[in-house]
Structure 1
Amino acid sequence: MKISLLIHTVYGIGGTIRTTLNLAEELAGRHEVEIVSVFRHRDIPLFDIDPRIAVVPLVDTRPSSPDNEKEHPTHQKPAEFFPRHEARYKEYSQLTDERVRAHYTASDADVVIGTRPGLVAYAAQFAPVTAVVIGQEHMTYNHHKEPLREEMRTFLAETDAFVTVSEGDAAIWRENMPLPDTRVLSIPNSVPEPDVSPSDLTGNIIVAAGRLSREKQYEVLLKAFAKVVAVRPDWTLRICGWGPEREKLRQRVEKLRLYNSVQLMGPRSPIEPEWVKGAIAVSTSRHESFGMTLVEAMRCGLPVVSTDCDYGPREIIKDGEDGLLVPVGDVGAVAEALLRLIDDEELRRRMGTNARENARRYDPAAVAKQYADLFAELGAGSTQRRGGGPTPVRERSTSFAPVADCVAEPDGSLTVRIVSPEAAALKHPGLRLVCTQISGTEPARVYPIGPDGTATIPAGEDFPDGHWMCHADQQATGLRVGILARAVDQRGSLRVADRLTVDAQVRHLVPYRRAPKQHLVLRSWRRPVHAEAGDILLSQRRFTLAGRLVGAAEPSGEPSLLLRRSEEPRDELVFPGTREGTRGFEATIGCETAAAHQRSPKDTWEVWLRYAPGQEPVRVGRVLDDVVLKGDVFVYPETLLHKQRPLLLVRRVLRKLRQREQRLVKVKLAYDRDNALVLHVSDR
């Protein structure tokens, strides 16, 4: 059969896109599958797409594309066939009406699946007359307002089946909107077996993931975590995702003074390598149609704390067996559940094991079988397809395009394993892993790839600072191709400081997926001595910085922090510090002192540590963990000061008479692209 899935866009990131791809990939093993993406807003999808799946974009909205159609005359006219009360109605137009209708007029699809209300309406109106039409509900009945539900009634009646992701929601639809000729049922979303090994649950990281939006109630999570970190200060919370509430969430983190303990990681794809870094997963949503992130975490072996919201979590989690359900919006209950799992390692491990086992029921094969059974029951494919003959299956490309998994091992070594094409090392004898510096002249680092497709970069290898691209290289023919990363397991990079010896150079190698093509790249740091930044606190217009000296240098005496202006004039400010233990240090930066030396609308000061009198200072930065770029993850609050100017009192009087605003200066600590700490002093 030919199966067509109609989606808003397949080029973004989100639960609907992820589950659509999971289903499409599983169905592609037996059927011809296409994903029709109404919009294409970026060049390369953020999720990996199986090459057997045909992707058909209809309207190009890429800003840099010469074919951008945002200003197309027909795109300026409102849609006529898209429900007016649909949340995305304003994004659709007569152009989208025409493109979707034209595609399905020429289509020989046996099954057409719409993945949101407006696209269910499109499928009901435009699908081939011989096709089975299925509507999917990725939200819930109660999520949609009454005008949209009434508007959708006619379109739903034209579908052969309407599929929700929870039985609870299906029951509500059947009760409130009887559709005599449409079968209403539930089939859950699917989540595949992770490409990384399960979490060992020994860390101190709590992980949450999902769209940063109001219904996820992250403010409840932050308040609960504030209670947790007050008694367990060594635990951290990582929130993966993006969305409209990001800035508000950042402000809430600052208000609760959690910026040293909460990290907003941004979008992460694939998400499994982030789940396995954690010991507990958490969700505080107000409502969930399904709860895909819960299943993802469980498949990675994490016990889950979740609000008992409609409808998915209570159908996914067995309370007390593989996770804990708590009342919606109850900050104290969330904190209590997290602390219960933090303090009881045996319980955490037992629930993690159960979570992994119980989540197997959401395997794509099991879910795809339910869809296949539904297709058969509805008679899909029973009518002779146009053109006749068997359904073609899209074959994988025969060209050599190596895809690999990479694991950062606990001892600091890296394991790179070619996973596609299969038995790559046997098909290409003499294959080598070649790492080349992206910006630099260092010689390439070369490692043999064994018959099983595996190469090992030993711990402590000499990679100078920078980014290193990984290639598969066939020595006999000269063929060299960049390796695409499937899953990058960075867990071995989390606690690198624990394995560094005091008399050795600092060497740290972190693998990562480099956008946009997701190549496998290594980020290396190498230096004889390094000042690793720790917690940073802002109080009374002063930043107090704690850190630790790492490497071969021997500290003695009292350390000092230096601020060195990165532009002319090359001023230097000195702030005395204290030694904490053998290699720890702490110092306080006076924001008013830095502001008083402002020489341009935006000054940038480098932060250095002189760890002993008479010694050359070293840059202060944060490199000894798994986060390749710290700038957007470790974000600290800013302080505002009155701008210091000549004749300040006279200027204040004139400003009040003229009713002008006070000129302010913003002072903020941040990490640059090399993860070195800098102080920004800028006009606001």
Structure 2
Amino acid sequence: MKIVYVLHTLYGIGGTIRTVANQAGAMAALGHEVEVVSVFRHRDDPVLPVGPSVQVTWLVDVREPPGPGADRPSLLYPVEEKHYGAHSALTDALIAERLAQAAPDVVVGTRAGINILLARLRPDGAAVVGQEHLTYRMYDRALLRAMARDYRRLDAIAPVTEADAAAYRSRMRLPGVRVQAVPNCVPAPELRTSGAGPPSVVAAGRVTGMKGFDLLLEAFARVAGDHPDWTVRVFGRGQGVEARRRQIHALGLEDRAFMMGAHPRMDEVWPLASVCAVPSRDEPFGMILVEAMRAGVPVVSSDCPHGPAEILRHGEDGLLVANEDPDAFARALDRVMGDDALRARMGAAALRNSERYSPEAVARMHEALFRDLIGPGDRTAVPAPRAAEPPDRCTAVVGADGVLELRFSTPPGLVVLRPVGTGAAGRQERRLCAEGARTVHVDPRDFPEGTTRWDVLRSDGGGAPVPVPASLVDLRSAPYEPRTVKRLAVAVPERGPGGRLRIAARRADRFAEVGGVAVAAERIAVSGTVLGSTGPDPEAELVLTARGDRGTEARFPCPVDASGRFGALVPAGALAEAGAELMGADGDEVVWDVRLRNGRGDHLVGRCLLGAGDWKQVCAYPEIEHPGPGGAGRGRTRIRPYITAGGHLAVRMTREEEALGPPPVRDVSVCWLPRRCRFEVSGTVRTLGARPGDVGVRLVPENGEGAPVDLPVTSTRTPAGVRFTAGIGLAGSARVPFGRWRVEVQSRGSDGGPVWSFPGYPGPRLRKRWWRGPVPVYAVAAPAKGKGTVIEHAPVRLLQAARRRVSHLPVLGRLWRGRG
């Protein structure tokens, strides 16, 4: 049969895109003729791979001038859907024209707006199926009314979970429309974990409040001290990335939690994870969850609506915990992080149990549904022959010794490494003679010291070299534990522009791998491990050298113990004084390169072993604000450590004329504890003068009327300062009075005097309701409009709530407003 999927765009990264690509490829593999119509595109090629047997058609390239009809509104796309503004009379005509030309047996919509468009269009001779990749409860009332009106023209609705299918059957009257749940499919990954990877908790998805990454960070902060070798890595992009980085700073997790950005091939990431975390508040299905299971990774997931409970088998292949409960999530993380045998057992069960989501199994379910809709007479599908691997396919595998193997599907005549990036003009191409072999080795010891980057090209038959695609990157055996590495020599494969293979050759005869960079208000604490250490060196120093021809050095004690571990404190005042003479009157910046100097010589210092291609984008350290020369009234100096593109530690220093006045606590993290019916506020006081007993947290009336409320505080000292947690009780005898309150943190400054601040809150906005006897009450945690964090606690105003609810009903709403 001929099947056409209509997608808003195939050219981004997201769960729906990945699902449709997997499903289209699986249906093509069964022998059906499959086409994916992308209404829009903004790049030449899709980011996520699409099967070679699937035809891809795009209708509007947003980079080009709009065509005729683009200035007129769409008559088919629902105005209630958020993408209505992107559609027009032009897209209506193009979709109708393409479906008429394709003449499909089945046309499949992939989001509510497109489903309604197809229901209104009703292509001749085609069964129309509306897939739902969000849950019923995620839609607002206006869009649900449009869906209830137009979905009656569909032939079938296909949610991805049984729970959501039940919601459509019970809440939406759809006579004659078949409602059948069909799960998403996930192909078997080429890489699977052996269970011996880095101690890392990995989460992935669009960084929004729904995904609950704030809950994951809160949960990990509760148990991080008991598992000092573990880290959290969050892959994804979205509007909430900077907010989560602010939360990481508030919790003091700069070297334990990382926002990694989007990754086009999560199947390459899962083998480097020991645990997958799914802290979502709502999850239509759980593609990330299944992908991790297919790679053999155990999962800790919130029991949110709707998908996880239908996928996970609690205690067998993962753990389900109460939704929106960071305490419960922390206990589950603590359990799996602390039990190697449990992770191995759950990982093996995840491999077995996830087979039911294989593309063939799910495609057969879709095939049966489509056949029932179009009736007899269609041709019998014949499984398509297995597609041959493209001749330029290349798998890049890093060995435990850091040597990179390039495994080609067809032997290249010549492999060319072309220099790119910093210093490329001073380096020459390198030619590796393949001599008819499928495997080419790249030894990092043959490259210059430091980090150099090279594009990989191949030449066949004496022709011009062409780029090699990064078909698969395997980092499972790459060195990551500093205590087992003698010296830095590793060639790390990366994806360059257009998915082309690029190599970062990292080599240093003497190197110190950073383990932690703790930034307080008056100093930077640097710790890590010297690779291949030959013994203790109490006289070692951390040397900061001003970049350029300035030749200025700042030295600080950095003793190295017998195991190679080092630690140093860099006082902000000493560094600011050393750099004061280097700055011109216009406030030029000074960049300090960091090295460790011991009896063996100078060691490069940085992050090069832990499996990230670009730590510069991943590591985001807080900033120190120090008084300028002459005191606090004479401007300020900003000092921030960072990781360079080459993976080396550096410190950037700039001067501003603005007077000093940084708050001791810039941001706090707020979470809701449902079992205790209270908010918890956490943050880090980064002034060295602060002691755990000096930190106080209170709620101050925002309108200035009434007395402040002191909160019970627990605090502990960390390398970054004093981490505190304060509970805001909203039930029982210790509850906070009704009102609107701002959070105030009090501590002791570096001069010993008291200081206070109204710290910010990166969100997400938390709103909770419950009953206190016969009275409904609510509580809200949100950023203040100007500055600070607001906690609002009050009874629900029943009259206003009723008015909001009634206004959503068309007839009663008009009567209420006096219009009927």
Equivalent in the alignment of 2:455: 469
Q: Deviations over 1:123-171 (max 9, x none)?
A: 2233521111110100111111121111112321111111000011001
Match of 2:597 in 1: 611
Q: 2:537 touches 2:559 (CA, 8 Å); kept in 1?
A: no
> How far did 1:371 drift?
1.0
The 1:343/1:562 distance shift into structure 2, 3 A limit, reads closer
Partner of 2:494: 512
Note the C-alpha offset of 1:94: 3.3
Matches within 5 A, 1:446-461: 446-447=433-434, 450=437, 453=438, 455=439, 457=441, 461=445
* 1:283-323 alpha-carbon deviations (Å, 9 max, x no partner): 11111110010100000101111111111000000111111
Q: Is the 8 A contact 1:415 1:457 kept in 2?
A: yes
Cα deviation, residue 645, structure 1:
6.5
Post-superposition Cα deviations, 1:7-54, rounded to whole Å, max 9, x if no partner, equal 111111010000100011112231222211121122332112223322
Q: Does 1:366 align with 2:366?
A: no
Structure 1 residues 280, 38: closer, same or farther in 2, change over 3 A?
same
Q: Which runs of 5+ in 1 are unaligned?
A: 652-662
The 1:413–1:577 alpha-carbon spacing in structure 2 relative to 1, beyond 3 Å, is closer
| Cα distance change on mapping 1:114 and 1:645 into 2, 3 Å | farther
Aligned equivalents of 2:228 and 2:596: distance in 1? 29
Partner of 1:171: 166
Match of 1:122, SS?
helix
C-alpha distance 509-499 of structure 1, shift in aligned 2 (>3 A): farther
Once the 2 structures are TM-superposed, how far is the Cα of residue 457 of structure 1 from its aligned partner? 2.2
In structure 2, do the counterparts of structure 1 residues 200 and 376 end up closer, same or farther at CA, with 3 Å as the change threshold?
same
Which position in structure 2 is the counterpart of 1:304?
A: 299
Residues 57-96 of structure 1, C-alpha deviations (whole Å, 9 max, x = no match): 222223xxxx243xx6854544332112213223333333
Contact 2:521 2:624 in 1 (8 A): no
Tell me whether 1:277 sits opposite 2:264 in the alignment: no
The structure-2 alpha-carbon separation of the partners of 1:170 and 1:636, relative to structure 1 and needing over 3 Å to count, comes to same
Consecutive unaligned residues in structure 2, runs of 5 or more: 657-820
Aligned to 1:47: 48
In the other structure, the counterpart of 1:18 is: 18
Tell me which moved more, 400-409 or 626-635.
Answer: 400-409
Q: 1:261 to 1:75 in 2, by over 3 A?
A: same
Alpha-carbon distance in 1 for matches of 2:419, 2:298: 40
Partner AA of 1:152 in structure 2: M
**Which residue number corresponds to residue 146 of structure 1?**
141
State the partner residue of 1:353.
348
The 2-side partners of 1:285 and 1:116 are apart by 20
Aligned length: 643
CA distance in 1, matches of 2:132, 2:403: 45
Answering whether residue 428 of structure 2 is matched by residue 441 of structure 1, we say yes
Q: Distance in 1 between matches of 2:628 and 2:44?
A: 44
> Does the Cα contact within 8 Å between 2:197 and 2:271 map onto a contact in 1?
no
Q: Describe how 1:522-561 pairs up with structure 2 within 5 A.
A: 522-550=503-531, 558-561=539-542
> Could you tell me how far apart the structure 2 residues matched to 1:177 and 1:153 are?
6
1:405 to 387, 395, 398: 395
When residues 645 and 52 of structure 1 are mapped into structure 2, their CA distance, relative to the original with a 3 A threshold, is: farther
Match for residue 414 of structure 1 among 404, 423, 428: 404
Distance in 2 separating the partners of 1:368 and 1:347: 33
Instruction: Describe the SS at the equivalent of 1:276.
Output: helix
Q: Which moved more, 1:562-571 or 1:284-293?
A: 562-571
* C-alpha deviation, 1:202, in angstroms: 5.0
1:569-619 Cα distance to aligned partner (Å, 9 max, x none): 554333333333363332222223444524354514132325137x76444
Percent identical residues = 33
Greater mean deviation of Cα atoms: 124-133 or 291-300: 124-133
**Matches of 2:376 and 2:249, distance apart in 1:** 57
SS at match of 1:178: coil
Mapped to 2, the partners of 1:392 and 1:586 lie a distance apart of 61
* Preserved contact between residue 238 and residue 264 of structure 1 (Cα < 8 Å): yes
Provide the rounded CA distance (Å) in 1 between the counterparts of 2:555 and 2:3: 68
Matches within 5 A, 1:542-581: 542-550=523-531, 558-567=539-548, 569-581=550-562
C-alpha change, 1:578 and 1:165, in structure 2 (3 Å) is: same
Query: Which letter maps to 2:28?
Result: A
Q: Is the Cα–Cα contact under 8 Å of residues 607 and 679 in structure 1 kept in the other structure?
A: yes
Query: Which is worse superposed, 236-245 or 671-680?
Result: 671-680
Alignment match, 1:489: 474
Q: How far did residue 238 of structure 1 move? A: 1.1
Task: Provide TM-score, normalisation by structure 1.
Answer: 0.87
State the shift of 1:500 in Å: 3.1
Q: Is the 8 A contact 1:513 1:519 kept in 2?
A: yes
* Residue of structure 2 aligned with 1:633, choices 601, 618, 621: 618
What is the alpha-carbon distance in structure 1 between the residues aligned to residue 92 and residue 522 of structure 2? Answer: 57
Query: Contact 1:199 / 1:300 at 8 angstroms: preserved in 2?
Result: no
5 Å-filtered alignment, 1:172-187, equals 172-187=167-182
C-alpha contact 1:203 1:278 (8 A) present in aligned 2: yes
Q: 631-640 or 74-83: which moved more?
A: 74-83
Q: Equivalent residue of 1:493, what SS?
A: coil
- Is the aligned partner of 1:622 residue 2:594? no
Aligned to 1:657: none
- SS of the equivalent of 1:406 reads strand
Q: Corresponding residue for 2:151? A: 156
Normalised by the length of structure 2, the TM-score is 0.73
Summarize deviations over 1:227-247 as a string: whole Å, max 9, x none: 221111111111111111111
CA contact (8 A) 1:160 1:182 kept: yes
Return the letter of the residue paired with 1:216.
K
| C-alpha displacement of 1:334 | 0.9
Does the 8 Å contact 1:53/1:394 carry over to 2?
A: no
Conserved? CA contact 1:212–1:246, under 8 Å:
yes
SS at match of 1:574: strand
Considering only aligned residues, what root-mean-square deviation do their CA atoms show, in Å?
3.0
User: Matched residues in 2 for 1:545 and 1:511: separation?
Assistant: 28
Q: Which residue of 2 aligns with 1:590?
A: 571
Q: CA separation of 1:601/1:100 partners in 2, compared to 1, >3 Å: closer, same or farther?
A: farther
In 2 relative to 1, CA 201–304 (structure 1 residues): closer, same or farther, beyond 3 Å? Answer: farther
CA contact (8 A) 2:394 2:407 kept: yes
Query: What's the CA shift for 1:196?
Result: 0.9
Counterpart residue identity of residue 640, structure 1: E
1:467–1:521 Cα contact (<8 Å) kept? yes
Question: Is the contact made by 2:482 and 2:529 (CA closer than 8 Å) also made in structure 1?
Answer: no
Query: Which residue of 308, 315, 321 maps to 1:320?
Result: 315
Does residue 670 of the first structure (1) align with residue 657 of the second (2)?
no
* CA–CA distance in structure 1, aligned partners of residues 646 and 595 of structure 2: 17
Which of 87, 107, 116 is the matching residue for 1:92? 87
